[in-house]
């Protein structure tokens, strides 16, 4: 199984992908509901708040801090918020709606540049260390959850992918996939409820009932 399918299957089975989509929707509604341009908030205000509020909602839906730890743990990288499930760590990245394929990782933060420089088996690159930025954890593959939204009309975008260091002006991703209804399917966090089977079917023989003899009020005591 290639990395794209393995990462998707691992994170989906753990409930990561559905939970992330749920968190993105709730965080977006919370930001748009609590801020307004008429009050003076600007695009930068929405962008910063969207990132911060989504971080909080992801902690919440992943159960970070609960007494019983789940399969998803908090795993920041160089102070960049991150969550890990198995060998996959996921960081956040906000983008302009409709421009997820136009991201330029070579112009991003040193941490995102380092992540985009990870060696990719299907398309190996020269992974260079960046002075002052610790190398990624050995054995861990760091992916990016790219998120975006607009208020009017309300539109949301959420993608999971492996960034590609594109200082050559080429593609921004080794692979990337949208988190939507078609790609996610049924939520594995929702356990199926077994239907209650009837005790008998319409074509089955009627159950023999015995009428109890009425208790005589004259002899009951």
pLDDT in tens, 102-135: 999 999 999 999 999 988 876 655 454 555 555 5
What is the model's pLDDT at position 36?
A: 80
pLDDT category at 207 given cuts 50, 70, 90 is very low
What is the model's pLDDT at position 130?
A: 53
The whole-angstrom separation of Cα 59 and Cα 27 is 12
Percent of the chain with pLDDT over 90: 59
What is the model's pLDDT at position 87?
A: 94
Residue 198 belongs to some domain of the structure: no
- Is pLDDT at 140 greater than 60 in this prediction? yes
- Is pLDDT at 190 greater than 50 in this prediction? yes
- Please, what's the b/e burial string for 128-143 (b: 16 or more CB within 10 A of its CB; e: otherwise)? eeeeeeeebeeeebbb
- Cross-strand bridge partners of residue 83: 74, 90
Full strand arrangement of the beta sheet holding 72-74: 72-74, 82-85, 88-94, 141-150, 155-163, 173-178
Pull the structure tokens for residue 153.
């009309």
Tens digit of each residue's pLDDT (9 = 90 or more) over 27-82: 999 998 888 888 888 888 888 898 999 999 999 999 998 888 889 999 999 999 99
Q: pTM for this one?
A: 0.79
Residue 95 belongs to some domain of the structure: yes
Neighbouring residues of 118: CB distance < 8 A, sequence distance ≥ 6: 127, 136, 141, 142, 162
Residue 195 belongs to some domain of the structure: no
What is the model's pLDDT at position 129?
A: 57
Are the C-beta atoms of 140 and 115 separated by less than 8 Å?
Answer: no
DSSP string, 103-152: --GGGS-HHHHHHHTS--TTS-------TTSPPPPTTPEEEEEEEEEETT
The whole-angstrom separation of Cα 1 and Cα 123 is 16
Residue 219 belongs to some domain of the structure: no
Residue 20 belongs to some domain of the structure: yes
How many domains are contained in the chain? 1
Residue 217 belongs to some domain of the structure: no
Residue 194 belongs to some domain of the structure: no
Residue 207 belongs to some domain of the structure: no
Host domain of residue 137: 3-184
What is the model's pLDDT at position 59?
A: 96
> Tell me, what DSSP letter sits at residue 101?
G
In the block, tokens 């989504």 appear at 54
């Amino acid at each position: 199984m290639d990395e794209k399918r393995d990462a998707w299957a691992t994170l989906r089975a753990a409930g990561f992908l559905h939970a992330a989509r749920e968190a993105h929707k709730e965080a977006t509604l919370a930001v748009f509901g609590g801020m307004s341009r008429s009050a003076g908030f600007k695009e930068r205000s929405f962008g910063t708040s969207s990132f911060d509020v989504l971080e909080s909602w992801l902690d919440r839906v992943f159960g970070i801090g609960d007494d019983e730890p789940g399969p998803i743990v908090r795993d920041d990288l160089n102070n960049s918020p991150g969550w890990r499930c198995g060998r996959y760590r996921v960081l956040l990245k906000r983008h302009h709606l409709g421009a997820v394929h136009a991201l330029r990782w070579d112009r991003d933060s040193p941490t995102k540049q380092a992540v985009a420089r990870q060696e990719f088996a299907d398309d190996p690159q020269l992974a260079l260390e960046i002075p002052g930025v610790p190398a990624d954890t050995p054995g861990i593959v760091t992916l990016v959850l790219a998120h975006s939204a607009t208020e009017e009309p309300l539109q949301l975008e959420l993608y999971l992918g492996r960034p590609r260091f594109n200082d050559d002006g080429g593609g921004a991703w080794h692979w990337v996939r949208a988190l939507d209804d078609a790609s996610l399917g049924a939520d594995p966090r929702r356990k199926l409820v077994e239907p209650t089977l009837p005790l008998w079917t319409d074509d089955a023989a009627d159950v023999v009932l015995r009428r109890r003899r009425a208790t005589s009020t004259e002899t009951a005591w």
